[in-house]
Amino acid sequence: MDRPRSHALFTEALNFIPGGVNSPVRAFRAVGGEPFFAQRAEGSHIYDVDGNDYIDYVCTWGPSIIGHAHTAVVHAVQEAATRGTSFGIPNSFEVDIAKKIAEWVPSVEKIRMTNSGTESTMTAVRLARGFTGRDKIIKFAGCYHGHVDSLLVKAGSGALTLGQPDSAGVPAALAALTLTLPFNDLDAVDAALNANKGEVACVILEPLPANAGLIPPMPGYLEALRDLCTQHDTLLIFDEVMTGFRLGKAGAQGLFGVTPDLSTFGKVIGGGLPVGAIGGRRDIMDHLAPLGPVYQAGTLSGNPLAMAAGLAQLNILEKENVFDKLEKLGGQLELAVRPSLAKHKIEATFYRYGSMFCLFFTKGPVRTLDDAMTSDRNRFKRFFHYLLDHGVYIAPSQFETGFISAAHTTEDIAQTARVMDAALAEIK
């Protein structure tokens, strides 16, 4: 596909925006070449400024769960905008969406809205420290929780893609308070908690890591983490920014049947607009200002446009049995990809949970970040560009997750499977 207008825009952007992009992975550094510039998106498709049409499996990195520019979401935003874009005082949408999230997620008794997933995880860690009076935290290699200083240590997502799992500008003294362990290794968690008795405020993780590809938790792993945290009076925080309201009404915690003390959310509850949230036990949440000593604030938190969009999207998820459709579409893709891998004798590992999927170009199984790092990134690069040039857009990184929306059709999936099969034949 030719993209002369995208090329011109990217050339100009490089003069005014670091790397030409406002979020690092968009630069295509991991796969080479230049990003395309979007003109519009509708349903399951995204269109660039050169008129090229792509079946979209990035879905705005997750939130477009019912598809791009859904009429109900667009109308909700338009109607809300006519009454004002921001008030700096409470609005009714905040109450409505808080009630709905509390109804859907049993572990959430109270919730505080923020403007992004990063803000939510930042608040969660601060709240855990304030509630417990402890300073240290445990996170897992490859789990990305936003660009928070305390959490940008052996992170996934863009940091991993760029080969810089740690960021300059993070003080060593602060990073020293973050204990980073391998995912799926219970003995490491047990040892760390015992070696730091009474010092660990929280264990934070993606219950289904989706920022280093898609890495399944081992059977019993999340349940054992819950038990260890309870034994050590350490809070368990699930980062469900990716999985919340995408894997079901109760997210990953509902899927796996494990109850965290705090949860962070984002993406899906914004309907495509910037939003995040933190929720959990009443006694912990009441430590937030103005009731408690842990300060958190945001002029645009609970913004009426984001709340209206998110509420419209959640209502559709509730009324239209979207999760069953997503499971069927995901199953259709999986049933097509696995035989293609076998036919072309390519060593790869395919994981899928509902509408989330990842193809690692490594023999597998993939249980840790180290496993994911054995992936053949050159092969992924060739795979990515073949798909893109044939109208299928997946994330420009081996270490990201693919997303299916309810707007995808069986023909979208069938066409994607045909393109993937041809790509696998090309790169074997």
| Catalytic residue IDs | 144, 239, 267
CA distance linking residue 292 with residue 304, whole number of Å: 25
* Cα dihedral across residues 288, 293, 294, 296: positive or negative: positive
Report H helices in 286-321: 304-319
Residue 169 vs residues 53, 173, 175: alpha-carbon distances, Å? 40, 12, 11
Please identify which residue in the block is written with the tokens 């990134």: 377
Of the candidates 342, 359, 349, 344, the residue with the CA atom closest to the CA atom of residue 426? 344
Cβ atoms of 114 and 298 closer than 8 Å: yes
CA distance linking residue 316 with residue 205, whole number of Å: 28
- DSSP classification of residue 91: -
Greatest Cα pair distance, the chain, in angstroms, is: 61
Strand ranges for 9-72 from DSSP E: 38-42, 45-48, 53-56
Cβ atoms of 193 and 200 closer than 8 Å: yes
Report the first-to-last Cα separation within the chain, whole angstroms: 22
Residue 330 vs residues 247, 278, 384, 415, 417: alpha-carbon distances, Å? 12, 28, 19, 14, 12
CA distance linking residue 96 with residue 77, whole number of Å: 15
Residue 282, burial from CB neighbour count under 10 angstroms (0-12, 13-18, 19+): exposed
Phi-psi region of 267 (alpha: psi -120 to 50; beta: other; left: phi over 0): left
Burial letters 350-374, b for 16+ CB under 10 A, else e: bbbbbbbbbbbbbebebbbbebbbe
CA distance linking residue 216 with residue 351, whole number of Å: 8
Tokens in use for 353?
A: 């949970």
